[in-house]
Amino acid sequence: MSQPSSQRPHLVVVGNGMAGMRTVEDLLNRAPGQYQITVFGAEPRVNYNRIMLSPLLAGEKCFDEIVINTAEWYRDNDITLISGDPVVAIDRVQKTVTSRDGKTVSYDHLLLATGSQPIVIPVPGHTLPGVVGFRDVEDVEAMLAAASKGGHAVVIGGGLLGLEAAAGLQGRGMQVTIIHLAGHLMERQLDPSAGYLLSSALQQRGLTVLTEANTAEIVGDSHVTAVRLHDGRELPADLVVMAVGIRPQTTLAKDCGLTVNRGIVVDDLMSTSDPAISAVGECVEHRGQCHGLVAPLYEMAKVLADRLAGRDTAGYQPAATSTKLKVTGIDVFSAGDFSGGDGTEDIVFRDAGRGVYKRIVLHGNTIKGAVLYGDTADGGWYFQLLRAGEDVTAHRDTLIFGPAFAGDTSGNPKQAVAALSDDAEICGCNGVCKGTIVSAITEKGLTTLDEVKAHTKASASCGSCAGLVESILVATLGDGYQAADRKPLCGCTSHDHDHVRREIVARGLKSQAAVMQALEWSTPDGCHVCRPALNYYLLCAWPTEYQDHGPSRFINERVHANIQKDGTYSVIPRMWGGLTNPAELRAIADVAEKFSIPTVKVTGGQRIDLLGVRKEDLPAVWADLNAAGMVSGHAYGKSLRTVKTCVGAEWCRFGTQRSMDMGVELEKMTWGSWMPHKFKMAVSGCPRNCAEATIKDFGVVAVDSGWELHVGGNGGIHVRATDLLCKVSTTDEVKEYCGAFVQMYREQARYLERTAPWIERIGLEPVRQAIVEDAENRAALYQRFLHSQSVSQDDPWQARAEGRVDAHEFAPLSPSHPLAAE
């Protein structure tokens, strides 16, 4: 049972980052309740995983998904978190810290985990707006704001962080140039050969890479406009990202008189020159070395937690580290020292066709370093041999081919991982060995990767060891292992929807053939599942460059009518906002009589449905309707279907706004926009909601002061009521918010995912953040939507009649074709 707070020693932690909070986590595991704990954080948020800033930039993660310790965790563990208020002074005599806002807190033991700060090259113009680092969430938000406007980005620095920033910005639609001072990229992790391969691959994916490039000046007046190099070249830039390295944040330590060299000097037990003050993380210097990778920082945390808990510890001993990178589909791994030199020899494997390069550096009979490019599956095995100092003489001749040729001739991953010893390190970031994972699986009954992450933290940081952890689950549980549902797009590929979408933009892929080739489709022409999805993703990404591919659409979309159970079709012309007139009604009646259409029905979407149209009559039916000025209602399409309205203030005595006018404007703005799934809207003229706006994908409800905007609803089998997005005052605002929401849905949802499951998957908050709170981003989304509409609002049958589209694009498929029916 823990002591009351007043009787416990007070541990004050300066820094709410990964190293400091890992120390606190480990301390709570070792000695729960031993300390009263207060944490000061400079950022106004809880502890999050900085390694995941790149996926956050790329759109692969939202902030909630990278949080390590929630606000509830701090409360549950009786930790006082003071966020957004950094410590600015330490009084070692009085043993107090003082924050920027004037809070003074006494300590019995102080832990400095102040981290590092990005290095900013002090060239002229480095303080201009538009120049950012890549260190925290604010930096990501600044990059996202810049990327929403498009344009050019220059990333200074070709290391791990710089390449991830470049890939993320390119994926967000910017044209990106990487400039790097050294002769090849990632020179600390890769040798020149691997660096050359990496540079070539990045350039093939649309990134510009300039090595041996020295920045002379950042050009601009009120905002950055270009980067000038020492050789006179000038690169256009709307955004400049400084990713040239980090330096320990030591200001507090210096000001209070602690011993500081490059970092805060600590001993093996992580103690500073003041016994009452410890330090861990990127801010420290241990035996003349500063560390920036997470694995050594977590090892420091473990040592300090042992000491604070009163346990014996051998102290921190630096060990070899490994690096794994995955940028735009490129796998890179390195470990140890690959610089070569006297007494070393190289084993090299190259496969130009597959883009694979492997180099093992031996010193005597042990591995000194390893570099893998293109195929990094064996990286963990080489790293284990390196750290263990194992004699590799017995399999020297086959070493380059990996563990499959070192006793496991079957190449079976289950057998390979079973051969690893219990002390083999699996997760370098968190220092988790195989034995710890196996024990957790067997003792706690874990069956999934997420459960292993939660209990052991293996693969919870960078995630590069997830495959190895899954192999341990398979080897330990056999059929009891529950594999994560990654839902590949189809059987032709192992890639999921989100990955395919990112690669289309990042690599500039502008045809289905290009996507299938670049992402190594296992079938030559795809299938009925992936072809419609690729067609949509390409159309959304490149609205002015990709031509809609008719043969990749289902029969309903190809002939602009819904196939019925008897093989005839249903034709629904568009009625703007549910409004019609005698001329349109007369044209519909004439068509029904002329083609002997047996059934004419009013639909739930306030339109008229012509049921029982023969396939051979469809072109003529649409020609007559087009001649009367009526276009397709897209009742068959993954697109806008209807905008339902009530009569509103135009006629109703309860109406507060003109709902019919609003519905017509919204429909005319959004019709013809291809989307991931069907999309329905409604406008109700008062809160009585006669148009049922609160079960639509986008619903508008009039109130006295303007309009309520609702999103993410649907009827059908599983009814979902909308979420309130916001309230606005004007018609123009309704249109802008609507267009921005549609475009965000178009760009982020997976094909055949309606708005309701999309919002349930990502949460409403990211939508509010992107559309309501970020006015610049909302405007950019709206402009991209209008740009897309400028080339998509066209009736295909009219385009065919005018000879602007080849007839074969809309020729019916044979009944046996897999796309011939939904």
Contacts of 680 (CB under 8 A, 6+ apart): 605, 640, 641, 642, 643, 644, 696, 697, 714
CA atoms within 13 A on the CB side of 387: 21
For residue 646, say whether it is annotated as part of any ligand binding site.
yes
> Do the Cβ atoms of 432 and 455 come closer than 8 Å?
no
The span from the CA of 772 to the CA of 767, in Å, is 8
The CA-based angle 773-777-783, given to 5 degrees, is: 130
Residue 540 dihedral angles phi and psi, to the nearest 5°: -70, -40
Please tell me whether residue 159 adopts helix, strand or coil conformation.
Answer: coil
The span from the CA of 571 to the CA of 565, in Å, is 14
The span from the CA of 739 to the CA of 60, in Å, is 23
- 474: which strand partners? none
Where does residue 583 rank: exposed (0-12), middle (13-18), buried (19+ CB within 10 A)? exposed
For residue 652, say whether it is annotated as part of any ligand binding site.
yes
- 277: which strand partners? 110
Cβ-count burial 765-774 (b if 16+ within 10 Å, e if not)? ebbbebbbeb
The span from the CA of 19 to the CA of 1, in Å, is 27
Name the DSSP class of 705: T
Write down the H helix ranges in 148-249.
160-171, 192-204
Q: Within 10 Å of residue 806's Cβ, how many Cβ atoms?
A: 11
For residue 686, say whether it is annotated as part of any ligand binding site.
yes
Within 534-618, strands assigned E span: 562-563, 569-571, 599-602, 608-613
How much of the chain is helix, strand and coil, in % rounded to 5? 35, 25, 40
First to last CA, the chain: 63
The span from the CA of 519 to the CA of 637, in Å, is 28
Q: What is the DSSP string of 28-73?
A: HHHSTTSSEEEEEESSSS-EE-GGGHHHHHHTS--HHHHEEE-HHH
For residue 433, say whether it is annotated as part of any ligand binding site.
no
Quote the tokens at residue 242: 């400084």
The span from the CA of 728 to the CA of 730, in Å, is 6
Annotated binding site for siroheme: 690
Question: Residues marked as binding?
Answer: 646, 652, 686, 690
Residues placed in the known binding site for [4Fe-4S] cluster: 646, 652, 686, 690
